[in-house]
Amino acid sequence: MKTGDGATDRLKRVKELLQIERDEDFRQYRDLFLRVNLDQRRQNGVTWYPVRINSEELGSGDLLHLELERTTYLDKPHQFSSGKNVALFSNAGQETHELNATIKSVSHNVMKLIVHGDELPDWCYDGKLGVNIQFDDNSYQEMQAALDEVIGAKNNRVAELREMIEGNLPVTFEKPDDRIVVQQLNLSQNRAVRHVLASNDIGIVHGPPGTGKTTSLVQAIRLTLQSEKQVLVCAPTNSAIDLLTEKLVELGIDVVRMGHPARISDGLVNSSVDGRIASSVYYKDIKNLRRNAEEYFRMAGKYKRVFGKEEAQQRAAYYAEARNSLKEARMLEDYVMDELFNNAQVICCTPVTSTHKALQRKRFNTLFFDEASQALEPMVWIPLRKCRRLILCGDHFQLPPVVKSMVAKKGGLDHTMLDRCMEFKECVSLLNRQYRMSNAIMGFSNSYFYNGELQSDESVSEQVLWSSEEFFLNRNIEFIDTAGCNFEEVQNPETLSYFNPGEGRILLAHLQQLLEHYSAVSEATPISIGVISPYKEQREWLSDNIAVNTQDFPLLQSLSVKTIDGFQGEERDVIYISLVRSNAVGEIGFLNDLRRMNVAITRARKKLVVLGDSATIGNAAFYRSFLEYCEKHGAYRTAWEWA
C-alpha cells in the first residue's frame, strides 16, 4: 500500500504538464493565425473573408442565429466544422473588432453560427466582415480548476477517490447479483452490467472494437436508475454524448442533453435543454416575451445607420424594452430549468459542460464516463468532483487523447485515468464477443492487444465481401507491399505532414479493380468503403485524386476518406489503409502510435487492405508482426501487380 503525498505530488506534476500543453496549443494557434497575413490565412483555410450576412434571427437562450456566406476562395478547402469556436471580425475603420460565436453547421460556402450575444454590434454592418477560427482556453481553465480542487481535497469523497485512483485506498465491491440478466445482452455484457452494479467506488467496462460497449453501458445506466434517482453521463466528445443520449431515449429514459445548441445533433433537439423548454407549459409565455423582445430589437435596428440625438434616445428605449422582456423570459426559463434538472433521470454532457451554472449545486452518486481512453485525466476530474462513484467505459488500446506538446507527452500527460485504473484488475470487466469483424481481420489485434481473449460472433466470424473464387472478394485481408517501387514519401514543408503519391496510385488502381469485380458478381447488394491514412496530406491527396465515378458503381453505398481519428466509432465493409512512410532510414514517425493503428485495422467488417513499404515499416516490432500475420494468412501481395 502506498503512503504519503504521492497522489497530490503526481497531480501537481499533471497540472504543470497541462500548462505546458496549453502553452504549446496556443503557440501553434499563434503561428497559424496570428503571425500570418490575411491572405495566407485564407489560403490555409482558417479564415473566411469577406463574408456576407444572409440572415439573422434571435433564437432560444438569448442567442443570435446567423448565416454567413463567403464570396471568394469558393473552392478552397477549409478547417471550419460544426462545434468549433470562431470570431467574427471587421477590417473596416481603424479599430479592431471581434465577436465570439460557435459554428452550428458548414455546408459548401455557407456557415451557420450561434453568436454569443443577443444582437450584432454596429460594425458588423459596415462591410469587410470575416470569420476566424478561435483559440478556446475554457477547457484548460476548467481542467486546472478541477486539479486545484482535487489536490486540495481533505476528508471528503473527492480525497477518497483521489487516493483510490492512486492506489493508496482499496476499491470495494458488493457481491454481484447473478439473478440480473438482460435478455438482449451476451454473457460478457451481462457480467459487465452486474460488475457495474456491484461497484461501490470505481468500475471499468473494457470494450474492444465491435463488442457492444454502448449497448452494455446504456443497460447498466438503466438498471442503476432502479436504485438511484439521477445519474450523470459524460464523454469527451459531443458525438459520443449524442450517441448515448439517443440510445437512452430509445429505452424510454428521461434524458436531458446539455450543451451549446451548435454542438448538439439536430436529431436530439427534443432532448436538449432548449427542446425541453419548448415542450413546457410555460413555453408559450416565454415565446411571447421573446417575440416582444425581437420586435423591439427590430425597431431599434432601424436606427443602426442614423446617429442623431433623438434617434439614439429612441433606439436606447427600444433596447431597454427588449431587455426587460428578455429578463422576464429568462426568469421563466430558469424556473423551467430547475424543474427539468430536478426531475430528469439522466443528464448527458461533455465534462466542461458539467460546470454549467444549472449543475453547480447538484451532486450525483454515479458518474458514467464513456470513451474514457480519449480523455485526459484532468478532464475526468471535472465532473467526478460532483460524484461518489465512477464507472469508466472504453478501450485503452484505442484512440488516446490528443497531446500536442512532446514535452507534455513524454511527461505522461497522455496517461489517462482509464490507463491508471486498468492496473486494478478487480475493477475491470472485459467485453469479449465482437460483432463487427471476420476472424481473419480480428485475429491480429486480438493477439497483439487483447491476449487472444476476443471471440467473433458466429454471425460475422466467416463473413466475406462475396462468396466467390475471386481473390478480391473472398479474402478478408491483404497487405500490398510497395518496397522496391521507389514510391518515396514527400513532406509538405508548411504542414510537415507526409504523402506518397505512388502508394496512392496503387490504392486507387486496387480500389477500381475491386469495385469492377464486385459489381460483376454481386446481386444488388450495396457496399461501403472507407479509405484511411494516418497523415492528413495523404488524406487530402487521396480525396483530390480518387478516380471512382460512383455513377459507374451504383452499388457503392458510401466512400469516405479520413484520418484515423475521423473513423473512431465507425465501420465499413471494406477499409483501405495507406501507411505512406517510405524512406531509407526506417523512420515511421506517427505510425509508432499503435493505439491509433489498432483503431484503423479494426474498422473493417469484411475486407481490410493495407498498403505500405515493408522495408520501412518492418523495422518496428508491431509492423513486423503484422507482416508475419499477413504472410501466414496468404494475404501478402506486391504493388508491382498494379504498378
Tell me what pLDDT residue 529 has. 95
What residue has cell string 436508475?
Answer: 225
pLDDT score of 481: 97
Rounded CA gap, 31 and 27, in Å? 6
- The pLDDT score that the predictor gives to residue 60 is 59
Asked whether the CA dihedral 420, 425, 428, 432 is positive or negative, the reply is positive
Name every residue whose Cβ is closer than 8 Å to that of residue 587 and which is 6 or more positions away in sequence: 581, 616
CB 51 within 8 A of CB 71: yes
For residue 371, CA distances in Å to 127, 386, 520 come to 44, 19, 41
For strand 85-90 and strand 97-107, is the pairing parallel, antiparallel, or unpaired?
A: antiparallel
CA–CA distance, 139 with 409 (Å, rounded to integer): 18
Residue 499 β-bridge partners: 490
The amino acid occupying position 234 is C
Looking at residue 37, what is its pLDDT? 85
Q: How far apart are CA 201 and CA 365, in angstroms?
A: 10
**Alpha helical stretches, state H, 522-593:** 536-545
pLDDT along the chain (643 residues), means of 10: 70 97 91 79 86 81 82 80 85 74 86 81 83 89 97 96 95 95 96 97 97 97 97 94 96 93 83 85 81 75 61 76 82 85 95 92 96 97 98 96 95 96 95 97 97 96 86 89 94 87 95 89 87 93 78 82 88 96 93 94 97 96 96 94 86
Q: Is 286:62 a contact under the CB 8 Å cutoff?
A: no
DSSP labels for 254-302?
-EEE-S-GGGS-GGGGGGBHHHHHHTSTTHHHHHHHHHHHHHHHHHHHT
Contact 577, 600 (CB under 8 A): yes
Q: DSSP letter at 201?
A: S
Q: Exposed e or buried b for every residue in 18-34, given b needs 16+ CB within 10 A? A: bebbbebbeeebeebbe
